[in-house]
Structure 1
Amino acid sequence: TPKGHFVPGVWGPYQNAIFSGWWMNEGGQSSTGQLIDFVISTHPAQETLEKTASERGISTFEILEEELERLRQQEGVPSLTELTKHIHFYPDLHGNRSPIADPKMTGSITGLTLDDSISDLAKKFNVTLEAIALQTKHILDEMNVHGHDVRGIYMSGSQAKNIALMQLIADVCGIPVILPHSPSAAVVLGSAMLGRFAAEASALGQKPSDEEQRHRLWNIMVDMTQPGQLVKPSATARQKKLLEVKYKIFRETIEIQKRWRKEVEDALRED
């Protein structure tokens, strides 16, 4: 941003970290990839999932997505959000980095049943993705309240390959998500572009003007990258209304956990 904005629970603002004269804030979630792995690996149906995926020669994620679609059709509901409407997952199994900045936060889930089949695993997989998207909205909401105006999300890294998660983030946050052509290589490719820019600028023998630097860097970006993918919000009015309710419950879960923790600590406090 042109001006620095202090956002509680979000690192920064840092000046000149990316662009000269501009400010940057940094907020994030702890171990989202590990969270997804944990939900899958600790479920009783994990072995069945792995065996089925191996036999069919496809990924475990594809099996889960197929099962979710089968269940959606079986239940006759228009979205996966509605399929798992009564399961609520709070994802801070490794504390909260942003925007609460509280290492004592833990995870919780409501809506448990005795079902331990691959169908239940698929539902828990879906609400895990949903929880990551809801927490992303929590971070963005706090940033926007304190001066930012986030209108798009640019992704990189392995999570950007998870289109179901990307669509949920777009739907929950209500803004487009932009994916690079090669998500896992985006950071390395960016470093290569900066290296080329520095080499070409050095070869000139003099420092280019700010305008020329912007022009050269843009041309390098165009030359070295391929078109990415735009994921637009696509939730229906019905799904959007349900996601808004689940976000409200998500925020209430935070306050309930804090209150319960305090009540327990107060009960154990010596007079």
Structure 2
Amino acid sequence: IVDPVAGRQVWSPILAIRDTDVVTPLTDRFRVPVVIENDAAATALAVTSRDGRLQEGLVAVLMIGHGVGMGLLSHGGPFPGTHGFSSEIGHVRRQPSGAQCRCGQRGCIEAYLADYALYRDARSIANLPIANHQQPSEEQMTVLVRRAEEGDGGLQRLFDEAGSSLSDAVRTVASVLAPHRIAIAGSGMRGYHLMKASFEAGLRDSLNPSYDPLSRIVIAEGGVDLIVEGMVQLALQRLDAELATGVPVREAG
């Protein structure tokens, strides 16, 4: 969780530090303006800029990969709010006393869907190398997906559970916000084809006659590149705003 207005990192399940000023030291060091935002929010900006269907009404963009996050946008722009437009949807609990999440809770959506959770559980049933710093590499996740594709029943069941967890996330978003569209993106989509059946089954089981989330889903391609693209957009927006208001942009030293 970040506060983009104050330029601070507020909380992260993978960092020991809390409430830390990130922007000021970087600005002082490089002598250029610096923007900070949650990776899911950056992904949301990139995804909506690529797809016209996501540029009207309220849109929720779920990002799955290292973790599970969500960015909210209204008519293609950041959803109004003082602390940015990201949400920690991954830390909504789906099963009390369930799988261990790295945030410290048990049973979070992320604990069944994020890369680290899938790989952790896969190692308990398959011969896979240890992940560095508890976070699997892209190569390790690619191997995991391939082995599930090749018919390893235990690994296939992990992806089935991940698909059910993803449907829980979408149902939660649909019930609380009823957005015009729900997009799903991120590096974790490399295994979406293995999750698709259980994901769609989970949504069909909870269809509301007045709101069908399955008909509003948009699957977006891209992983880390979406985060980079979204942050570039934020930086350019900052530059445009400063130029439009006549406030000079500080020169790089």
TM-score of the two chains, using structure 2 as the length reference: 0.40
Using CA pairs below 8 Å that are at least 6 residues apart, which structure has the higher relative contact order?
Answer: 2
The structure with the largest strand share of the pair is: 2
TM-score of the two chains, using structure 1 as the length reference: 0.38
Pair member with larger Rg: 1
The structure with the largest helix share of the pair is: 1
